[in-house]
């Protein structure tokens, strides 16, 4: 009996050390494996499973799980203990190191495609932008003091209105202090209170904060770079580590703080909004905008080197935490669901003199979308003039380009293609927010 009680004392002392964060993973593993038989006698199956899960490994992530199981053990006995944050902190450090190693492997594996793209850019240099965006981080200059509320969650109509108005004020403060200067530094102009656009050498770049449909803040942010004649779907995008990497994940996590207007926008909430806009600014100014700046012509946008690099970066490295790719934009050869790529590349083929390929792509786009668009036009005959109906807009554009095929003379046909391009771009400048409303027949 003394021997059994002696082990119980040893066991509880070890558990207390785990709770205090004093036991390293290897030490815990060795002690547990050396005492398996006695642990089975003194612990329930549930306690053993919580302290030593089946997939347990000697690292800090699993040690934090062990600590949680130990805390549950003492709580069930009516002796709750305070736990240290040591394992969770070390687990975060461990995860950061593993992610860094995984990203280094990703960049090595995509170097075969990155090098030709970098060499192409050396031969086609774009204007550099020098902008101290980090000076914009933190509390916006002149930000109004936070209000004091006597409630946390809005319950009445008046409270909902008050929270919504205060949230919009804080969003506006941050948008003007952080996003607007970054957009301006890259030559973008305001096309509304929440939209920034730029046209250069036949390309349009656009950043738009989309309002939450139930009122409140911003539901999402739309960012795209494409030819003026194109729509924002199915386009050649950004490298995966920029569009879906760590900056994007940090920005996307906790987005609700700038989306919903259902809580009191007190001092803590204002600080959270400020931090979220720091994440958005970092994503844009240290990733998206510099990458866009490299692409200063249609030729560069469609360069094979760029397309090869984007293809190589579609699938991210393995996430050490989830054992899945960090992102996966690979369509595995499946065509774009709206055939917007056929329109995008079809028009470029026509402009590049590859008429046979261009007309074939455009015909595919029109053929695929005809059923949907015809039904849509029955409901809304003006849909092809509506910025809210991009498929109808694209369908009409593709039709206009296809009609140029009817011109028999090659020189006149090239002239018709160029005139159609100018007409389409004239309307699409309105579509992208670059110009005032434009109608077409």
> What's the pTM value of the predicted model, to 2 decimals?
0.88
Ramachandran angles phi, psi of 101, nearest 5°: -65, -40
For residue 68, CA distances in Å to 75, 121, 260 come to 10, 52, 33
Q: What's the pLDDT score for residue 437?
A: 87
**Tokens describing residue 319:** 């996430």
Residue 224: strand pairing partners: 206
Q: Are 53 and 65 in contact (CB under 8 A)?
A: yes
Q: What's the pLDDT score for residue 5?
A: 56
Low-confidence ranges of the chain (pLDDT < 50): 1-3
Q: What's the pLDDT score for residue 72?
A: 96
Q: What's the pLDDT score for residue 2?
A: 44
Q: Are 239 and 192 in contact (CB under 8 A)?
A: no
Q: At what angle do helices 267-283 and 157-174 cross, to 10 degrees?
A: 40
Q: What's the pLDDT score for residue 1?
A: 40
Q: Which helix (H) or strand (E) holds 219?
A: strand 218-227
């Amino acid at each position: 009996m003394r021997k059994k009680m002696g082990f119980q004392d040893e066991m509880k002392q070890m558990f207390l050390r785990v709770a205090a964060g004093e036991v390293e993973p290897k030490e815990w593993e060795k002690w547990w494996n050396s005492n398996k038989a006695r642990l089975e006698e003194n612990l329930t199956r549930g306690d053993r499973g919580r302290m030593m899960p089946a997939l347990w490994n000697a690292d800090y992530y699993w040690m934090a799980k062990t600590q949680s199981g130990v805390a549950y053990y003492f709580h069930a006995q009516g002796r709750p203990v305070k736990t240290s944050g040591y394992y969770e902190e070390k687990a975060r450090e461990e995860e950061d190191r593993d992610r860094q190693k995984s990203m280094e492997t990703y960049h090595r594996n995509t170097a075969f495609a990155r090098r030709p793209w970098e060499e192409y850019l050396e031969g086609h240099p774009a204007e550099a932008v020098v902008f101290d965006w980090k000076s914009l981080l933190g509390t916006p200059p002149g930000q109004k003091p936070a209000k004091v509320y006597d409630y946390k969650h809005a319950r009445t109509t008046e409270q909902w209105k008050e929270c919504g108005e205060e949230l919009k004020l804080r969003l506006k403060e941050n948008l003007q202090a952080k996003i607007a200067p970054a957009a301006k530094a890259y030559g973008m102009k305001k096309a509304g209170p929440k939209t920034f656009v730029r046209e250069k050498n036949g390309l349009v770049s656009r950043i738009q904060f989309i309002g939450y449909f139930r009122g409140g803040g911003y539901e999402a942010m739309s960012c795209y770079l494409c030819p003026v004649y194109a729509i924002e779907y199915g386009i050649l995008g950004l490298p995966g580590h920029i569009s879906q990497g760590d900056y994007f994940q940090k920005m996307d996590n906790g987005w609700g703080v700038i989306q919903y207007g259902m809580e009191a926008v007190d001092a803590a909430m204002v600080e959270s909004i400020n931090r979220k806009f720091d994440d958005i600014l970092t994503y844009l100014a240290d990733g998206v905008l510099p990458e866009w700046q490299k692409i200063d012509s249609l030729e560069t946008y469609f360069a094979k080197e760029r397309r090869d690099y984007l293809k190589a970066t579609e699938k991210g490295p393995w996430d050490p935490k989830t054992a899945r790719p960090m992102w996966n934009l690979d369509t595995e050869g499946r065509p774009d669901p709206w055939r917007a790529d056929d329109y995008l590349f079809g028009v470029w083929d026509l402009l590049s003199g590859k008429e046979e390929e261009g007309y074939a792509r455009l015909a595919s786009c029109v053929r695929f979308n005809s059923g949907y668009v015809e039904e849509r036009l029955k409901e809304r005959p003006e849909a092809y003039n509506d910025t809210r109906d991009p498929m109808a807009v694209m369908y009409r554009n593709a039709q206009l380009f296809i009609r140029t095929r009817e011109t028999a003379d090659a020189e006149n046909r090239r002239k018709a293609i160029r005139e159609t391009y100018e007409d389409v771009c004239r309307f699409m400048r309105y579509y992208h927010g670059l110009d005032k409303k434009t109608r077409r027949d």
